[in-house]
Amino acid sequence: MNFSITVEPPMPALSQGDTSCLAGVAAAGFTCVDWCWDWCGKPVFYEAEFMALAAEALKTHGLRLCSVHGYAGPPPGLTYTRELFLAVNVNRIEFAARFGAKVLVVHLPLHDFSSPDQVLAESVDVLERLRPAAQQAGVRVAAENLFSPRQHDQAAFFDALFTRFGPEYLGFCYDSGHASMTGCQDFVARYASRLLCTHLHDNDGRNDQHRLPGSGVADWKMILGSLKQSGFAGPVNLEVRIPANEPHGPFFAQAMAAIRELWD
């Protein structure tokens, strides 16, 4: 099995010329990365010049881009709008296609609406509007299970989505940390046929800590057993957070050792 790791802040931006994070990823034995820069906060649109920088950095370190984390929403003080969500995610679809990545991971706006009917209607609408750009680019969308809010029935929500959209367009991203916090760990088996990518990490069951697998309450025997039984082709992607002031290289080596030990 190939293993991937999510590249996200606070790693240095490529525009600053520092690719040490990618060097550490490659040295640890990862073959792929999941792109997670600029997934929330002030919207950032990637232009051709930046895409070229990213392409050169990945090529230098022998890495390929397996998936891209889509834009979730603006920072506090700015209101979520459908138009903003769509515009940035179309840009991310173009970014994914530039690198041959086949998956765009999206956080659908579960937290922005008060009723399940509103949540489903908005999610269906944005997915319909993203579909033309995704299909033209050959990119599938993976809806990620979220860590909040608890008042929404996520199983009913995803069941409805997967009834509405076929697997040729819509799949599932399993986030083990979110699942531990919401009692949805079994989603890895429930939606095995729709699984396009993973965001594997651990926590204490209460906070979204992005710790190394095996250091929290996640049921790794069940999670990884379900992945193997599903026939998921991978790569198996980690979404772990580097502790402040910890060198990148040793941390990535620890991450690879943790997932290999659990997988084996």
| pLDDT range class, residue 220, cuts 50, 70, 90 | very high
pLDDT band (50, 70, 90) for residue 31: very high
Q: Which pLDDT score, from 0 to 100, does residue 10 have?
A: 52
- Answer for the pair 176, 84: CB distance below 8 angstroms, yes or no: no
pLDDT digits (tens, 9 = 90+) for 83-130: 999 999 999 999 999 999 999 999 987 666 778 888 899 899 999 999
Q: What is the mean pLDDT of residues 69-91?
A: 88
Pairing outcome for strands 236-238 and 195-199 = unpaired
CA atoms within 13 A on the CB side of 155: 9
pLDDT tens digits, 202-215: 999 999 999 999 99
How many helices (H) and strands (E) in the chain? 9, 8
Looking at CATH, the fold of the domain delimited by 3-263 is given as: TIM Barrel (3.20.20)
The sign one gets for the Cα dihedral 198, 7, 23, 245 is negative
Mention every residue, 6+ apart, whose C-beta is less than 8 A from residue 165: 127
Q: In the numeric block, which tokens belong to residue 234?
A: 């991978």
* Other residues' Cβ atoms within 10 Å of the Cβ of residue 227: 21
Q: Indicate the domain borders of the chain.
A: 3-263
Could you read off the pLDDT of 117-144 as tens digits, one per residue?
Answer: 888 998 999 999 999 999 999 999 999 9
Give the start-end residues of each E strand in 8-100.
32-35, 64-69
Mean of all residue pLDDT scores within the chain: 91
Smallest CA-to-CA distance from 70 within 197, 238, 227, 187 is with: 197
Radius of gyration of the CA atoms of the chain, in A: 17
Higher pLDDT pick, 233 / 152 = 233
Q: Alpha-carbon distance 191 to 12, whole Å? A: 35
What is this structure's pTM? 0.94
Judge contact between 111 and 68, C-beta under 8 A: no
If you write DSSP's letter for every residue of 157-197 in order, what string do you get?
HHHHHHHHS-TTTEEEEEEHHHHHHHT-TTHHHHTGGGEEE
Q: Which tokens in the block code for residue 74?
A: 């603006």
